[in-house]
Structure 1
Amino acid sequence: MKSFPKSFKLLSLPIIFCGLLAFSSCSDDDAYFDSEIREIVINSSTRDTIIYIPVHQVRVPVYLSVPKDCDALAPLPAVVVLHGSGGMWKDDNPESKTMSSQFREWKELFDNNCMVGAFVDSFSGRGATEKSGKWETAPDNFKISSQFIRSRDANAAMSQLRKIKFKDGSPVVRSEDIGLLGFSDGGTSVISTLYDTNTTPTGWEWTQSFGGKEYDTSSGVMSPEPRPQQGFAGGVFYYGGSGGYNYWGSSPCNSEALEKNIYQNYAPILFQIPTGDSLSEGSLCLAGLLAEKGKSVELNIYEGVGHGFDTDDNTQSSEARTKTLNWLKNILHMD
């Protein structure tokens, strides 16, 4: 693992609860829960804080990082980050308020490039530590689904970023310049978040298949959230799965996928795919399928590495991070 400044392990973070104003008295112990995403006011000196956003009666923690020495460029572009199956926190402990080294490194990259980071914890508010055991199988995994739950988290984080202001009333984030980045299960969630619901065939039934059994909306499967009027500028997909348990229809590798897989993205996607990963075949098929449909996709393939290579201290990881940042800068109008 790449080294990281020890100072980040000692952060004492202010916490903003419930998606209300920063000076609200609302706390985790309150019986009342406001389901509306509201304006948040932060000090100009705020750099790292944890906010809570409401998603389907769940408080979803978001680690918010605001870079310093970038005031002249404000309002700033932002990136919403979705973690993988292992969760977001160091030692699986959200109470520590310390992200794992992977996300602390990405936070530093965003800081150095004048990007606001919004790291979304989709698990702890729903009682999960990591996607293992019961959280891998239906119907329990529907509660943290990368197809129809985590996409809602991402959209809520995007909406909240647009409602964060400094005390002088100026916005922290440029509303049109918000990107998305996800790893593994979070990469799968990037795909789902960027699905263009305007292209859903009439009469399509949303189902998923697990262990030979099909589940539908009566058993917990949900339809996607409607495409936002102002969505993400684009997303980066690192080594996730692309089948969706048949959520989008046939496998993207199926010979009839052009007709039977309905997935289409509304914003550009950058695929970061390692050769040594069992999930890569499906993702390569999806990237090719989307290109055939005329959608905006870009594909980078990394030889000699496997699943999770972003956390490896090697040239492929560094190259992928550089390409990711350059791609984000382009879609976020930073060039």
Structure 2
Amino acid sequence: MMSSLLRLLAAFASLALLLSSAASAGGYERVRIPIDEGQLDGVLYRPAGPGPFPAIVALHGCGGLWRDNGTLSVRHSDWGARLAEAGYVVLMPDSYGSRKLGSQCGVKELTVRAGRERVADAMAAKRWLQMRADVRKDAVSLLGWSGGGSTILTAIRTDRRPADMLPDFTRAIAFYPGCRTQSESDSFRARLPVLILMGDADDWTPPAPCDFLARSARLRGESVELVLYPGALHDFDHPRLDVKERTDIAYSASGTGKVMVGTNPAARDDAIQRVKSFLLKTR
């Protein structure tokens, strides 16, 4: 009787461990991050095991983290699981949902701005991660898409260095950011290595300002690399987004509010490998 009970308990323990490992590898946890005006909701992916692990603060674009049905968007779930499997704790702060806002892609007068609230959110997310025992305080990187990428370009400026005594971000990756504001700033200086990934056919955030920004930064001795993918559009790294026209955009290169978006499998595959290689230099 006792032997059967022990076997049953052992089976339950094994099942619990299996489920826990599966959740760590492919699932996420909802978390809350303290900020000045209250709390910031977030999504946390983490590898299996105790750590400590390197970490990534990942910043969503103008569409936010969530789909209309309340599930995490495919792009974010794909990257979160992929990076956790590669050994990173990934924190995705929800800058819009936390403030009761939906998609901001069609909003011209933003109340949550890349250069202010979203940079503050990224800094709060970094501090929150660095308080965790399973995170390496000296190995927290930044990653962002579109408006999140634009936020990164502001956050990594030399004159925006965090005021706290914790280690700074180590590296930054920006997918198809808007570079015009920073490229037109005489005071822009990148204080850490940056990788910018975008398509040369992007008509939402055109690549020309990013090309100017990267070339100017390199002439100053800063580590800013731009990779342009031939024929790729905005959202090229999405796991499965058919090429289509969007007509609900507040700011587009044409000024019409119309842009083309969609997955580019070759560019996506290359970007996945480049992101992993770039982040490996923090480990």
Q: Shorter-chain-normalised TM-score: which range?
A: 0.7 to 0.9
Alignment size in residue pairs: 234
Q: Which residue of 2 aligns with 1:266?
A: 191
Partner of 2:66: 89
**2:72 partner letter:** M
1:303 to 220, 224, 230: 230
CA 178–188 in structure 1, closer or farther in 2 if over 3 Å, else same = same
For residue 161 of structure 1, what is the aligned residue in structure 2? 129
Corresponding residue of 2:32: 52
CA contact (8 A) 2:176 2:198 kept: yes
Change (3 A) 1:44 1:163: farther
Q: Is 1:64 the equivalent of 2:44?
A: yes
- Give the Å deviation of 1:195: 1.3
| Equivalent in the alignment of 2:141 | 179
Q: 1:191 aligns with which of 137, 149, 153?
A: 153
Q: Which runs of 5+ in 1 are unaligned?
A: 1-42, 165-170, 198-223
* Deviation (angstroms), 1:67: 1.3
Establish whether residue 241 from structure 1 lines up as the match of residue 175 from structure 2.
no
Shift of 1:55: 2.2
Cα distance in 1 for residues equivalent to 2:273 and 2:108 = 32
1:120/1:154 contact within 8 Å kept: yes
- Note the C-alpha offset of 1:105: 0.6
Q: Does 1:152 align with 2:132?
A: no
Is 1:115 the counterpart of 2:92? The answer is no
Cα 1:313–1:294 shift into 2, 3 Å: closer
Tell me the CA shift for residue 321 of structure 1: 1.2
TM-score between the two structures when normalised by the length of structure 1: 0.65
Q: Which consecutive residues of structure 2, in runs of 5 or more, have no partner in the other structure?
A: 1-19, 239-262
User: Which SS does the other structure have where 1:306 is aligned?
Assistant: coil
Q: What CA distance in whole angstroms lies between the structure 2 residues aligned with 1:284 and 1:125? A: 34
CA distance in structure 2 between the aligned counterparts of 1:238 and 1:273, rounded to whole angstroms: 6
Task: Report % sequence identity.
Answer: 26
Contact 2:58 2:142 in 1 (8 A): yes
Aligned residues: CA RMSD: 2.1
TM-score by length of 2: 0.77
1:155-175 per-residue CA deviation (whole Å, 9 max, x = no partner) reads: 1111000112xxxxxx11000
Provide closer, same or farther for how the CA distance between residues 185 and 172 of structure 1 changes in structure 2, counting only shifts above 3 A: same
What is residue 209 of structure 2 aligned with on the other side?
282
User: Which residue does 2:79 correspond to in 1?
Assistant: 106
